[in-house]
Chains A and B, each alone.
Chain A
Amino acid sequence: MQELSVRHLLGIKDITPQDIQLIFETADNFKDVLNRPIKKVPSLRDITIANVFFENSTRTRLSFELAEKRLSADVINFSSSSSSVKKGETLLDTVNNILAMKVDMIVMRHSSPGAPHFLSKHIKANIVNAGDGTHEHPTQALLDSFSIRERLGEVAGKKVVIIGDILHSRVALSNIFALQKQGAEVMVCGPSTLLPKHITQLGVKVETNVRRALEWCDVANVLRIQLERQQMKFFPSLREYTLYYGIDKKLLDSLNKEIVLMHPGPINRGVELSSDAADSNHSIILNQVENGVAIRMAVLYLLAQNG
């Protein structure tokens, strides 16, 4: 199979393990392109892509924009903070106006879960979900799995723990789907106030003790504490969170085992990860960033084929 089974990448839940495999194989080739003296191919030369970000993002938007430019697509950027959305225009009207300018693909971030799914029912262009509220962030999950595969050879059979604010994280949900579809065992770990009530129904293990979680796993994917999403207090203080759930080099060394440390960024240094852990040999955080461009190139390239 050399074609994705979907026209849009709305979430990992909608795609097959074969799709994930195809994306990874294509990303392998794009990673090779990114290491050449001329890091650009003309594949999407006649395609226009709009990055429509209704919610703030720096690294995801940059990563998508770079992927699009490496594929020679024409790129336009839209951010809601300086747009007609502020004047009361609906999502559909905003996007239809963008599409009237002959845009072929939409990369969208929105604070409402399901916003790209809604849009996909009303427009013809291919849509890539770049994060919808606390729901899914499929390209992040793909690049996380791709980075695990790169470091450990394969994802199947590996034990992965996702640590931190699971409740507010779209990365966690997409990661759970992606890892399980590739045959990995998944655990979530965090204070019980930051663990969704029915999370075990997804077939994941639950742990509230970070040391026990680290002793169990091959890979620890540490999430950022999303301070901006916590109007309610889910834990007494950042200091207490760091004390119980923060990971430092001393803790990693005391485990006396090989462990791969990941983080989707941006890191709250000294909160969920200490600097000596984030910069240690265990960490593949910068590899994740590099792989993000290759994965996004692969997704855009394969979806363009299905246009």
Chain B
Amino acid sequence: MQKRLIVNQQLLEIMVMRLCHQLIESHGDFSDSVILGLQPRGKYVAQRIQSTLAAILGKQVPTGLLDTTFHRDDFRRRDTPIAANATKIDFLVEGKKVILVDDVLYTGRSVRAALDAMIAYGRPANVELLVLIDRLYTRHLPIQPTYVGRQVNSLLSQRVLVEWQGEQAAEDAIWLITKSDE
């Protein structure tokens, strides 16, 4: 297995800061906007975005966690069953500008499931997608991100791993992992 560092801690910090400023350009004071982190890995990105926005704006943007397990289109088609995670949304989505947040955009199927799951909480005014890594040429569905940290060319045999300081990693980092037998 080969593991190549594609974004280090310093670059990730700059990336998150830039994404936050892009969000502020579109959402102003976030009075009508909410953030939804997609479980399980988008949770950490959403929390980082929320804390960075809080440092810049001096206010907490409403942030929830959305689990898509029951809305996935690959139920009973995977080798291993997926366990559901908690959904925690303590605000109304109805009429809000929703920013869906995930770490990696790959086939687009998780985002499709997320759009489906989110509708159960009301009809948002509009929906945007923010991802740290956009894996190019791998999409199965016509889904594109609104805000991108970095675009990465990757093979199907490769995997992108986003690690967060304090979550089983010494520091923030994004890795491109290639299985050695492929």
A36 close to B121 (CB less than 8 A) = yes
- Given the known A-B contacts A29-B87, A37-B122, A305-B76, are A2 and B116 also in contact in the complex, defined by CB atoms under 8 Å? no
Asked if B54 is at the interface of the complex by the 8 Å CB criterion, the answer is no
Q: How far is the CA of A29 from the CA of B120 in the complex (A)?
A: 14
Asked if A267 is at the interface of the complex by the 8 Å CB criterion, the answer is no
Of A32, A40, A301, A305, the contact of B86 (CB 8 Å cutoff): A32
SS of B interface (majority): loop
A29 close to B70 (CB less than 8 A) = yes
B122 close to A43 (CB less than 8 A) = no
Q: How far is the CA of A147 from the CA of B122 in the complex (A)?
A: 29
- Residues of A29-61 at the interface with B, using a CB-CB cut-off of 8 Å, are 29, 32-33, 36-44
- Given the known A-B contacts A36-B120, A42-B116, are A305 and B81 also in contact in the complex, defined by CB atoms under 8 Å? yes
Of B69, B85, B87, B120, the contact of A38 (CB 8 Å cutoff): B120
- Given the known A-B contacts A29-B67, A305-B76, are A2 and B81 also in contact in the complex, defined by CB atoms under 8 Å? yes
A3 proximity list for chain B (CB < 8 A): 80-81
Chain A 1-26, CB-CB to B under 8 Å as 1, else 0, gives 01100000000000000000000011
B81 proximity list for chain A (CB < 8 A): 2-3, 305
Of B84, B86, B87, B120, the contact of A37 (CB 8 Å cutoff): B120
B83 proximity list for chain A (CB < 8 A): 2, 25-26
Instruction: Give the contact-size bracket for chain A.
Output: 20 to 34
Asked if A304 is at the interface of the complex by the 8 Å CB criterion, the answer is yes
Of B70, B80, B82, the contact of A41 (CB 8 Å cutoff): B70
B82 close to A2 (CB less than 8 A) = yes
Asked if A307 is at the interface of the complex by the 8 Å CB criterion, the answer is yes
- Residues of B71-99 at the interface with A, using a CB-CB cut-off of 8 Å, are 71, 75-76, 80-87
Minimum CB–CB distance for B40 against chain A, Å: 13
CB closest residue in chain B, given A41: B70
Q: How far is the CA of A43 from the CA of B120 in the complex (A)?
A: 14
- Please give the number of chain B residues whose Cβ is less than 8 angstroms from any Cβ of chain A in the complex: 20
Asked if B119 is at the interface of the complex by the 8 Å CB criterion, the answer is yes
Minimum CB–CB distance for B131 against chain A, Å: 24
- Given the known A-B contacts A29-B84, A43-B70, are A305 and B121 also in contact in the complex, defined by CB atoms under 8 Å? no
A304 proximity list for chain B (CB < 8 A): 75-76
CB closest residue in chain B, given A33: B70
Q: How far is the CA of A3 from the CA of B87 in the complex (A)?
A: 21
Q: How far is the CA of A266 from the CA of B76 in the complex (A)?
A: 37
- Given the known A-B contacts A2-B81, A42-B116, are A37 and B70 also in contact in the complex, defined by CB atoms under 8 Å? no
Q: How far is the CA of A36 from the CA of B70 in the complex (A)?
A: 14
Q: How far is the CA of A87 from the CA of B102 in the complex (A)?
A: 59
A33 proximity list for chain B (CB < 8 A): 70, 120
Of A32, A40, A305, the contact of B75 (CB 8 Å cutoff): A305
Q: How far is the CA of A3 from the CA of B82 in the complex (A)?
A: 9
A39 proximity list for chain B (CB < 8 A): 120
A32 close to B120 (CB less than 8 A) = no
- Residues of A285-307 at the interface with B, using a CB-CB cut-off of 8 Å, are 301, 304-305, 307
Of B71, B75, B80, B120, the contact of A2 (CB 8 Å cutoff): B80
Q: How far is the CA of A3 from the CA of B117 in the complex (A)?
A: 23
Q: How far is the CA of A26 from the CA of B67 in the complex (A)?
A: 12
7 residue pairs bridging A and B, Cβ less than 8 Å apart: A2-B82, A29-B86, A29-B87, A32-B86, A32-B87, A42-B71, A44-B75
A interface residue numbers (CB < 8 A to B): 2-3, 25-26, 28-29, 32-33, 36-44, 301, 304-305, 307
The 5 closest A-B pairs by CB, nearest first: A41-B70, A38-B120, A29-B84, A2-B83, A305-B81
Beyond known contacts A26-B83, A29-B70, A42-B70: 12 more, CB 8 A cutoff: A2-B82, A2-B83, A3-B81, A29-B67, A32-B87, A33-B120, A36-B120, A37-B120, A41-B70, A43-B75, A44-B75, A305-B76
